Amino acid sequence: MFQNGRKTIGVFISLVYDEFQVLLSKGISIRAQELGYNVVFLTNFGGYDVSEYDQGELKIADLPLYEELDGIIMVPDTMAVEGLVEKINGQIRKRSKCPVVSIRTETEGHYNVLVDDDTVLENIIRHFIEVHGFTKLNFLAGPKDHIDSIKRLGSYKRILKEYNIPIEEERIYYGDFWKHEGKTAVDLWLSNPDTVPEAIICANDYMAITVAGALEDRGISVPDMIAVSGFDDISDASELRPSITTATMPVVDMGIEAVNKIDRVNKGHNEEKTSFVKSNTIIRESCGCHYNADKEKRQGSKHYFSYLEKLKREVVRNCYMSADLTGKTKQEDVFNSIHTYVYENAGFTDFYMCLYSDWQNIDDNYERIFDPDEEMVMEVGVKNQTHYNRIRYKRRNLIPQQFEEDRPMIFYVTVLHHRNMDFGYVAIAFEKIQTYMTTFQSWMMNVSNALENIRVHSELNRLVYKLEDMYIRDELTGLYNRRGLETIGEKYLKQAVEEQTALMIFTSDMDKLKFINDNYGHIGGDIALKTVADALVLSADDDEICVRFGGDEFVVVGLLYDEDKAQRFIRRFIGELEKFNESGNQEFKVYVSYGWDLITPNERTTIEECLVTADIKMYQQKNMKKELHLNTNIIE
């Protein structure tokens, strides 16, 4: 994917702006740079709950050249798009030969870096029992079939059994590892006096925060009336009041260990299939302990204020960007605007918008087949504040080769698509080791929607042109019809007047078309008409207008003609008809009568007047044939 002589690790990870992903990516990037690896973060957003959009998000699995990756890291539990994990694993099995590491989700056939979910909540549960004396402990698990949820619930049951506390299934509720089920669990438990808890242990912080809010909404003080705990130590857990007792995993270390595993395998060392990292328990206010949190509060408040200010600026900028791009339909206007918005984001060192060469011509049913030699076009490029336009390169390279560097390179790549239509991708490098751009998802959607506006506008223009062309074209022969002659002929006439140049008018009429129709049917007649039309087109080589004027009548209008050029045109035309007649492909032969004239028009000249002179000569030829009894029999 890169041609800078360094090995490259591909990282499949979704929602890179979330806290866990930011820290994990930081660990991966730090260690990869130390060992001299390039890193490509292949990321998507997903979870739209709109099947057409999720189909577009799935295309990230088709983007990399798996055969050239020297290591792959997957973070399956960040991927909300159904089928994405399976699609990536399918590509790995078919095309990859490098070591693959799965983080936080044990995957057969891969190396794994895991949290020891059997023990992550042990210290919190023991703390509730030993320090606070709680025995009515309710548990909000994750999804019933999720492996992390199963192991954390197992830890809960094991510790209760160790302390001889009865395990009551009514005190267990299966949530979603998100913010939707916490209130339902609280309502259910508080509706039954036998399941009202002293403490609620949640399998992660998102659910713990939701539970704490639901309790407060019901007038139940945390932790004075019911204690709460979580897991993950997301930033909101420390900033909430009361702050959430939780446990944390060394996320940066997980990223470092994943890279180390790949490097050890590449160097031929024996490597264990699975490595475990241990969590750290963080006791805060929500369990009932009154620790000295002043320093954490001050740091948290400062961070949170800075975060809100940055988020506010980014949201406003993205709103302006959306409104600005929505009103643009010309490709160059959209690309210039994107350049401007890239400049405004000081965090980028490199930004490349890379599109498939046929991106404007696809539709909902288009299926792209991976071809490493397919041509890509970098339409928008910025490197160190220098602006680049339109560079073509092969798809096997992630970016145009002239932008690669000798040092380890770290890029974030996401697919540009509208619903399931794939336009290409954006590749971004940051100044610092980070992925922090809160509105990255909406930023990419703005760009994708702008590309869709261009595509739709281009498609509408093509349809309008096609309809206009159908209106002025003869359906059988493909030549212009009478309306076409009126429309385009007037333009030629005007040009001839302005340039004071001669206009060649050629008219022809088929001999005995009725005889062909009567003896060989209208199919034969159509073949004869198309033969004349094809002969005219093959004889015209300088933007002449070829017209089926009606029935068996044909007209040609040409600019910049003199007598020699007109004679050359006629010789070619008669020669093409002779080729057909000599071929013997049909039982009949095709003959025409014709006339022509060179006219230097003035402002009062009309196309009809031009046709009259040529027609007179054509009919003179027809009459001469009759008078001289020329051989015009169709069958010989």
64/368 Cα distance (integer angstroms): 14
Q: pLDDT tens-digit profile of 602-622?
A: 888 888 888 887 788 777 777
pLDDT tens track for 391-448: 999 999 999 999 999 999 999 999 999 888 899 999 999 888 765 556 677 778 888 8
- CATH fold of the domain at 122-252+277-295: Rossmann fold (3.40.50)
Q: What is the overall mean pLDDT for the chain? A: 88
Please determine whether the domains at 122-252+277-295 and 472-627 fall in the same fold group of CATH.
no
Q: Which CATH superfamily is domain 472-627 in?
A: Reverse transcriptase/Diguanylate cyclase domain (3.30.70.270)
3-state secondary structure of 311: helix
pLDDT digits (tens, 9 = 90+) for 111-160: 999 988 888 999 999 999 999 999 999 999 999 988 889 999 999 999 99
Beta bridge partners of 504: 558, 598
Q: 595 — phi, psi (to 5°)?
A: -150, 155
Which candidate, 348, 410, 406, places its Cα nearest to that of 33? 410
Cis? peptide before 400, omega within 30° of 0 = no
Tokens of 27: 């660990």
Distance in angstroms (rounded) separating the CA atoms of residues 163 and 139: 16
pLDDT at 326: 78
* DSSP per residue, 93-147: HHH--S-EEEESS--TTSEEEEE-TTTTTHHHHHHHHHTT----EEEEES-TT-H
Average pLDDT (231-239) is 87
pLDDT at 298: 44
Instruction: Report how far residue 212's alpha carbon sits from residue 226's, in angstroms, rounded to the nearest whole number.
Output: 9
Condensed to tens digits (0 to 9), the pLDDT of residues 560-588 reads 889 999 999 999 999 999 999 999 899 99
Number of helices and strands (H, E) in the chain?
16, 21
Q: Where are the domains of the chain?
A: 8-115+296-459, 122-252+277-295, 472-627
pLDDT at residue number 300: 45
- What DSSP character marks residue 59? G
Nearest to 634 by CA among 477, 517, 506: 517
CB neighbours of residue 192 within 10 Å: 10
Q: How far apart are CA 279 and CA 247, in angstroms?
A: 6
Q: Cα separation of 82 and 65, whole Å?
A: 22
Q: What pLDDT score was predicted for residue 436?
A: 53
Q: What is the dihedral of CA 91, 97, 102, 108, to 10 degrees?
A: 80
Distances (CA, A) of 263 to 92, 101, 408: 18, 11, 15
